[in-house]
């Protein structure tokens, strides 16, 4: 029996997917043919397109359509496993593609956004039901062709088998003999599609090799940096005078004109509030563009933030914190003031953290050109949707056209690292403006130096904490956090005036709080009296362009919370492990969300319910409740803490100047956590202050590990990310500009500093959650706590440098 593959065009695929009206449709249906294959011989068989998430060709080859960005986490493989398991397709027949970012695809797939380790969490339910829907349709068609009852037909390994007679038919034979036309509309019909029980999984939970590894190792994978367009010119950025707000008053290109291949200098239109102070040298080759950029003589207006320094920011932070009238309560439970006033002892501490940048291996880049009335963008981005929206608004702005007349298509490429750093779009906007100015395609490729200079770093922070102790018990916690907010200047917010990152204060005042800057402080410990005051420093928000970095605010807030809890434990004479376990009881609430776990429909104001689970965005009607990852609450956190402590041998006798520290984290956000505990073992040289991080033990409960071997790899990578932040990474600002421009001055940990990492996956069988980020959040506090246990000094600044440890030891 032979079949003919019929390639389905993207336009045909969209039309079929959307053919049922206003809701997104799943094209599943069938008409029976004869088992002899006569139908296939008469006309070519059609591709089976049962849902927007996959297409099966008549030969059985199945392509999973992944709208998440591939940036080293192998997300496409995990999402494909979810579909393939329910579809009962042979894994060898599965491949992956990544739909482009266009208005048409946005209407079909909804928001394409990869962030917060949320891909598996948000996609698991609908992808698995999508695969189940395809399996149902294939089983029905197969049963009809086999002449048996649907109830007696089962699917496995790309075949439908009659369990009574034993006869079977392959998926390819089914599709060669019949056209399946049954429809399942999303989301309404999906609610009734059953999913497998975990014990029936045969692809989910297996350590499948990542689909993208061969292309990345043989060089066929295409990153944004690899793009080539005929007649393309190259752009190189001049280092701006200040991170934000600078203006190029004049540009003298006399010296640049002598460089072969130089075309012109472009001062980018920054009236949109992006690309401020950007001057781009355009040339026929990238080396010529870089040399021209260095040769350009630019007269600058440093702008309103030209004198900003890190020291000045911290002074203003302390002044803001000292004013009780500023800020808004993120958490406000119980009687914190009364408890502090009546305490036998009040523990007070100040913590600070430095800026950190994403420092991806692939520098920022974008290639933009116009074909007819369509602007094409080639880049690797964490959100093709927001990239398209932002560029559309920018083009409408400087071209003076209605946004409805601007058509943008974003062609997704593999990302050479992301970490939150490829969800800002200045290089795309600048490339588009340059392309318009020179009337040809432009590839804007940032050097390492300009990538650092224009980065969107994690905000510096200052924390003031007060803890009340009464009768030997910890009774209240006041936590003030001063930092820059991410939401107000986030690209899509700038473009559309959106406030989707903002949440209301806990006091009912209606004041906005940016949860991406404050999350993690609303911890899972049972504590009746707890207040977190969020204080935005507006100049940090704008002057340094504070933004989301891997684990977002969890990377500094868990460092502070877990270190402070260790301080409390030592003050009241309790073992830090026992102290934590005594508070991880699942009782109480934080911001009205029970510590015993969150369930959909309980009144959460978390944007994920409205944004990530909706399809197409932002229709709230398309949200399907799923079993939340938070089921089990703080007790799951206590469980991983026990596992990690047992694996690490917590409590064992340590040599002199050696210490073991513990920490827990429920990152990412409170309504989509991954439960993780970490134990750090360090040796500290009291003479030099050097910290030798010898071992990390990580225990993680992510519900279901879709691909265990990849989960372990992600956990280890994130742990190293956390180790690098606590031991060495630091970005500073002076005179409005970042001082570090490359890896000679911005210092990630080196290979010699990599510790042994022991990972234990704890599968609870609950809804799966993310593994790419959470383990990094426990490393910094675990190291700080280990240093205290090793040499008796409490380090309250991140990163913890050898000089700081040495100075603290001398002061004792």
Residues belonging to the active site: 773
Asked if the bond preceding 668 is cis, omega within 30° of 0, the reply is yes
The contacts of residue 447 (CB under 8 Å, 6+ apart) are: 236, 237, 290, 363
Beta bridge partners of 443: 234, 367
Q: Regarding beta strands 297-301 and 365-371, do their DSSP bridges make them parallel or antiparallel, or are they unpaired?
A: unpaired
Beta bridge partners of 262: 283
Query: DSSP for 443-490?
Result: EEE--HHHHHHT--PBPPEEEEEEEEEETTEEEEEEEEEEE--SGGG-
CA torsion through residues 656, 791, 639, 559, sign: negative
Residue 376 to residue 371: CA distance in whole angstroms: 7
Q: Which residues contact 378 (CB under 8 A, 6 or more apart)?
A: 224, 227, 229, 366, 367, 368, 411, 413
**CB burial class (10 A; 0-12, 13-18, 19+) of residue 154?**
middle
**Residue 280 is inside which H or E element, if any?**
strand 279-283
Q: Enter the tokens of residue 766.
A: 């609950």
Task: Report how far residue 544's alpha carbon sits from residue 460's, in angstroms, rounded to the nearest whole number.
Answer: 10
Q: Provide the H-helix boundaries in 219-354.
A: 286-295, 310-322, 336-341
Nearest by Cα to 237 from 246, 228, 227: 246
Q: HSE on the CB side for 597, CA within 13 Å?
A: 16
**Cβ-contact 548, 418 below 8 angstroms:** no
Q: Cα separation of 642 and 577, whole Å?
A: 8
- Strands (DSSP E) found in 578-711: 589-590, 593-594, 658-665, 668-669, 672-673, 675-684, 691-701
- Measured in whole angstroms, how far is the alpha carbon of residue 37 from the centre of its chain? 48
Contact criterion met (CB below 8 Å) for 132 and 195: yes
Q: Give the gyration radius of the chain's Cα atoms.
A: 28
């Amino acid at each position: 029996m032979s079949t003919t593959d019929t390639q389905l065009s993207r336009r045909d695929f969209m039309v079929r997917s959307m053919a049922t009206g206003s809701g997104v449709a799943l094209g599943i249906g069938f008409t029976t043919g004869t088992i002899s294959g006569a139908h296939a011989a008469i006309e070519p068989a059609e591709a089976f397109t049962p849902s927007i998430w996959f297409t099966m060709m008549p030969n059985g080859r199945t392509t999973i359509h992944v709208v998440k960005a591939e940036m080293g986490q192998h997300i496409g493989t995990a999402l494909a496993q979810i579909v393939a398991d329910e579809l009962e397709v042979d894994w060898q027949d599965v491949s992956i593609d990544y739909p482009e970012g266009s208005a048409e695809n946005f209407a079909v797939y909804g928001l394409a956004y990869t962030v917060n380790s949320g891909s598996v969490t948000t996609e698991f339910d609908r992808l698995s039901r999508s695969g189940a829907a395809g399996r149902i349709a294939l089983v029905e068609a197969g049963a009809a062709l086999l002449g048996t009852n649907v109830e007696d037909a089962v699917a496995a390994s790309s075949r439908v088998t009659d369990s009574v007679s034993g006869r079977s038919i392959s998926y390819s034979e089914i599709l060669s003999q019949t056209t399946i036309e049954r429809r399942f509309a999303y989301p309404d019909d999906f609610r009734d599609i059953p999913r497998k029980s975990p014990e029936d999984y045969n692809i989910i939970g297996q350590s499948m090799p990542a689909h993208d590894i061969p292309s990345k190792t043989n060089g066929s994978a295409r990153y944004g940096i690899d793009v080539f367009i005929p007649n393309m010119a190259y752009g190189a950025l001049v280092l701006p005078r200040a991170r934000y707000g600078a203006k190029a008053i004049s540009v003298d290109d006399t010296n640049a004109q002598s460089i072969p291949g130089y075309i012109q200098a472009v001062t980018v239109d920054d009236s949109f509030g992006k690309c401020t102070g950007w001057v781009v040298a355009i040339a026929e080759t990238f080396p010529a563009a870089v040399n021209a950029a260095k040769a350009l003589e630019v007269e600058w207006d440093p702008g309103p933030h030209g004198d900003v320094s890190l020291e000045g920011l911290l002074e203003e932070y302390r002044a803001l914190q000292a004013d009780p009238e500023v800020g808004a309560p993120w958490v406000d439970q119980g009687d914190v003031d009364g408890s502090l006033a009546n305490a036998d002892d009040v523990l007070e501490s100040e913590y600070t953290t430095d800026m950190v940048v994403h420092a991806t291996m692939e520098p920022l880049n974008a290639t933009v050109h116009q074909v007819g009335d369509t602007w094409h963008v080639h880049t690797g981005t964490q959100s093709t949707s927001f990239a398209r929206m932002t560029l559309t608004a920018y083009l409408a702005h400087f071209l003076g056209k209605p946004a409805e007349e601007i058509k943008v298509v974003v062609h997704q490429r593999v990302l050479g690292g992301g970490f939150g750093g490829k969800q800002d779009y200045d290089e795309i906007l600048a490339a588009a403006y340059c392309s318009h100015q020179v009337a040809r395609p432009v590839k804007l490729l940032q050097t390492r130096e300009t990538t650092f200079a224009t980065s969107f770093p994690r905000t510096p922070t200052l924390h003031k904490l007060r803890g009340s102790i009464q009768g030997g018990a910890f009774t209240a916690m006041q936590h003030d956090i001063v930092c820059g907010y991410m939401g107000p200047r986030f690209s899509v917010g700038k473009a559309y005036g959106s406030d989707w990152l903002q949440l209301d204060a806990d006091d009912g005042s209606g004041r906005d709080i940016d949860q991406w800057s404050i999350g993690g402080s609303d911890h899972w410990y049972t504590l009746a009296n707890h207040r977190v005051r969020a204080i935005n420093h507006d100049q940090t928000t704008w002057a340094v362009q504070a933004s989301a970095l891997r684990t977002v605010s969890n990377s500094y807030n868990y460092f502070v919370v877990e270190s402070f809890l260790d301080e409390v434990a030592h003050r009241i004479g309790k073992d830090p492990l026992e102290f934590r376990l005594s508070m991880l009881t699942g009782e109480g609430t934080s911001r009205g969300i029970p510590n015993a776990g969150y369930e959909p429909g309980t009144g959460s104001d978390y944007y994920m319910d409205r944004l990530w689970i909706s399809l197409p965005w932002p229709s709230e009607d398309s949200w399907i409740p799923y079993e939340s990852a938070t089921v089990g609450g703080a007790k799951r956190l206590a469980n991983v803490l026990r596992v990690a402590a047992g694996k690490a041998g917590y409590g064992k006798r340590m040599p002199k100047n050696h210490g073991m520290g513990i920490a827990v984290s429920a990152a990412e956000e409170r309504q989509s956590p991954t439960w993780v505990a970490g134990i750090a073992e360090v040796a500290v040289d009291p003479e030099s202050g050097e910290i030798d991080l010898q071992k990390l033990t990580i225990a993680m409960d992510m519900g279901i590990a879709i691909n265990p071997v990849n989960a372990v790899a992600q956990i280890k990578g994130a742990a190293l990310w956390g180790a690098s932040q606590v031991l060495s990474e630091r970005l500073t600002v002076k005179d409005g500009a970042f001082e570090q421009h490359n890896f000679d001055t911005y210092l990630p940990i080196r290979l010699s500093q990599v510790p042994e990492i022991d990972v234990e996956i704890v599968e609870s069988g609950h809804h799966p959650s993310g593994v790419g980020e959470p383990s990094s959040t426990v490393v910094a506090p675990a190291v700080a706590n280990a240093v205290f246990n090793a040499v008796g000094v409490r380090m309250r600044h991140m990163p913890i440098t050898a000089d700081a440890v040495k100075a603290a030891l001398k002061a004792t």
